[in-house]
Amino acid sequence: MPRRCCTVNEVQRPRTGVVRNWAGNQACVPVEVARPTSTEEVAAIVRRAHDDGRRVKVIGAGHSFTATAMTDGVLVRLDGLSRILDVDIQTQRVRVEAGMTLHEFSRQIHEKGLALPNLGDIDVQSIAGATSTATHGTGRTLGNIATNIVGMTIVDGTGRIHVIDEHDDRLNIAAVGLGALGVICEVTLQCVSSFRVHAHETVEYLDDLLADIDGFASSADHAEFFWMPGARRCQVKRNNRTEQPLDRPNTFEVVRDKYVGENLAFGAVCRVGRRWPALAPRIAKLVSSSVSEREFVDDSFRVFASPRHVRFVEMEYGIPLECLGEAVQRVREVTGRLSFPSLFPIEVRVSAADDIALSTGTARENGWIAVHQYQGAPYESYFQQVAAIMDSYGGRPHWGKMHYLDAHDLASRYPRWNEFQQLRRALDPDGTFRNEYLDRVLGPID
């Protein structure tokens, strides 16, 4: 057996022993925690683990609700890989280390006059985590964040470094890899010129939205709505590109709406509902009545993402867009008969089709339904009933969020499933990146 060696920057014994995700619903006790600062250090860590017969997993911001990053082997943290390496203004391409968060990346490229064409409503995830799980925003003509990848550098299961560019057939397989193909160290993203967004938030009746879901999906560049189970009305967000001058909310409005209203006050309401679930109908009315109409203009990345300090668990499925209205109505019926009520709004979004092998948007325009439950409140019955509805439409679960499917269920929902498995065997023949979650959703490595 080769002699083990490491630098302080490469491998450290975990201080607490237990590593948890943001939501607190997943935990593991790795034998080592690695904090590399270069691609070469990542390769050395993986080689040692492979030679020692240990598993390796990577964790970014810990915002996945699944166990995809959990391991009892070597856990690699990407905090030390968080620099922008190159900005090409002419081609609008940016090469960045994979541990940088979407928030920091957006802020830094904005200073260069660039932006990502779309973001989700949370931007604290690492670039590696967000792309590997096909994290998405909303917009009928816009794909998930991984669709912006035009190049990447990964370390395979034996510690070899692979540079994959847009001319390599492997790119449209590796772009959404679930952490099963290797450690992503660098990513080159196709960006666009910085742009402003006119945000228009309204309060509308759910029945009206469901009556013309196709019209809703096309009503803005970025359209979504949030509906509190038990309420009749929704908060609707329609964001459109604009060249209007900036008209930002003032500091008082931001603190009032984003921090006090959406976090402090909402968190208090959730704690009341968790303790006294019979008050849920009143909570639904309170939450829905507290939303008001507003308009503002700001830089795109400041509009798309919001702070989320109230912790929760989440399940989200993409289904064929034409089924979205019917599916929301069926979920609505489920929420009306739950023994323990939902304390969080249901989120409805849309996204474009793409050609990435395990992207949830592969070969299909999607409507998205996300259900949540406040941390510590019962969710199993709720999520399982919603999952059964989504499965009836051939739903594809968001790879970073909870679901109950396995490889047998998932294989038929992805036309390029076998291509992904072939690349997995090539890049990780000995299962260095396996864990229980990947064994379940991808199956064994033949």
pLDDT of residue 306: 85
Q: What local confidence, expressed as pLDDT, does residue 41 receive?
A: 98
Domain ranges for the chain: 11-77, 84-193, 198-397
Whether the per-residue pLDDT at 284 is higher than 50: the answer is: yes
Question: What mean pLDDT is predicted for residues 148-155?
Answer: 98
Least confident range from 35-49, 113-127, 274-288: namely 274-288
How many Å apart are CA 174 and CA 176, to the nearest integer?
A: 5
Alpha carbon distance 107, 85 (integer Å): 15
d(CA 18, CA 35): 16
Q: Is the pLDDT of residue 15 over 60?
A: no
| CA 87 remoteness from chain centre | 25
Q: What is the pLDDT of residues 362-395, one digit of tens each?
A: 999 999 999 999 999 999 999 999 999 999 999 9
CATH superfamily for 198-397 is: FAD-linked oxidases, C-terminal domain (3.40.462.10)
- So what's the pLDDT on residue 372? 96
pLDDT digits (tens, 9 = 90+) for 197-241: 999 999 999 999 999 999 999 999 999 999 999 889 999 999 999
Per the DSSP assignment, residues forming a β-bridge with 295 are 200
Architecture of domain 11-77: 2-Layer Sandwich (3.30)
Taking only the tens place, the pLDDT of each residue in 315-337 is: 999 999 999 999 999 999 999 99
Strand ranges, E, within 206-244:
222-227, 233-242
Residue pair 188/150 in contact by the 8 Å Cβ criterion: yes
Q: Structure tokens of 276?
A: 């006294």
pLDDT digits (tens, 9 = 90+) for 75-91: 999 999 999 999 999 99
pLDDT for 193: 98
Say yes or no to pLDDT of 5 above 60.
Answer: no
Instruction: Estimate to the nearest angstrom the gap between the alpha carbon of 200 and the chain centroid.
Output: 24
Which of 11-25, 66-80, 283-297, 298-312 is predicted most confidently? 66-80
Encoded amino acid at 64, one letter: S
Class of domain 84-193: alpha beta
- What does the pLDDT average to over 83-112? 98
Amino acid at 271: R
